[in-house]
Chains A and B, each alone.
Chain A
Amino acid sequence: MTPDKAKIAAQFISAIPHCKALNMRLTGIGDGEAEMELPYDLRIVGDPETGVIHGGAVSALMDTCCGAAAMSHPSSPAATATIDLRIDYMRPATPGQTIRTRAECYRITRSVAFVRATATDDDTQSPVATATGAFTVETK
């Protein structure tokens, strides 16, 4: 993907109201891969005792990142929608740390894009969550 296209993609993502509300940022995109981050925010805490972010916010980050990866694939058209998305929660994200995710569209057909993603916090060796999903390939 050219730098121009990547910039447009980043602007496109930051214009999505829910992504804007969560202060999500696209940090990399191209050739079926995307990287995004979600800063820590007290409003999206799921466990008030520990301050750990709710799985739903992690879902939103991973869904967006997987969709962006699918759309950035060279043989993908402009738009996509999630068919299904499974998220496995490996460990609680450390409170106060930004969650970063990297998604890869590892296979695309005329109808379906298959995408997987991993999310980590500052400890990049141990994933916080992984996701696998199928996305539609919209005909132009």
Chain B
Amino acid sequence: MARPRPEPVQTVKHRRDTALSALVHGVPYIQFLGIEFDRRGDELTAILPFDNKLIGNPMLPAIHGGVTAGFLETTAVIGLAWSVLWDDIETGRIDTEQLSLGHLPSMPKTIDFTVDYLRSGLPRDAYARARVNRSGRRYASVHVEAWQDQRNVLFAQGTGHFLMPPRSTGNSEHNG
């Protein structure tokens, strides 16, 4: 059986980037911290560009623990929403143009979030990646790692549990 002709790469990239941008740029707090997401295929890396308003200890100086927590939680929520929406974005079941107009899907709600502060956050850009360890119909568990200059030298990690928004029936299963 002949496979359908693949879509042009620009079309695929545009659809994915439009969807991601809508998820990220629709949230005022994410804009306030200045977090952006780098996408390679389905892999996301969150970037927190350093800014003076992120400082929590002016003596060292160091990034505020609450900023680190907010950065990790944002990475977890966007990563989780992205993984759940991926199939619908790929198949076009989600209209990405509607997303960019602000018609956003319901996001996962944080139940709890624990941050492990491994070393002080330096006044530099920070990066983070989320790994969805379990994504059920109602609950999800997500782990996040954050680093600055060296990928293998984490300055914080976090784990959170999330309540999933109700999914309309007929969509693909995400229970395994």
Contact = CB atoms under 8 A, between A and B. Distances in A.
Interface of A: 15-21, 42-49, 53-57, 59-64, 67, 81-89
B29 A63 contact: no
Given A43-B32, A60-B67, A48 B27 contact: yes
Majority-rule SS of B interface residues: mixed
Interface stretch (B4-12, B36-44, B51-59, B131-139): B51-59
Given A43-B29, A89-B110, A56 B65 contact: no
Contacts of B115: 59, 82, 84-86
Contacts of A48: 26-28, 102, 104
A14 B65 CA distance: 16
Nearest to A42: B28
A85 B65 contact: yes
Contacts of A43: 28-29, 31-32
A60 B55 contact: no
B94 interface: no
B85 interface: no
B111 A82 contact: no
Contacts of B73: 54-56, 59
Contacts, number: 127
Contacts of A45: 27-29
A82 B32 CA distance: 23
Interface in B102-135: 102, 104, 107, 109-117, 120
Contact of A89 (B28, B31, B70, B112): B112
Contacts of B117: 81-85
Contacts of A56: 29, 33, 66-67, 69-71, 73-74
Contacts of A60: 64-67, 69-70
B67 A86 contact: no
A66 B107 CA distance: 29
A44 B28 contact: yes
A18 B55 contact: yes
A21 B111 CA distance: 26
Contact of A86 (B30, B33, B113): B113
A64 B32 contact: no
Nearest to A92: B109
A59 B66 contact: yes
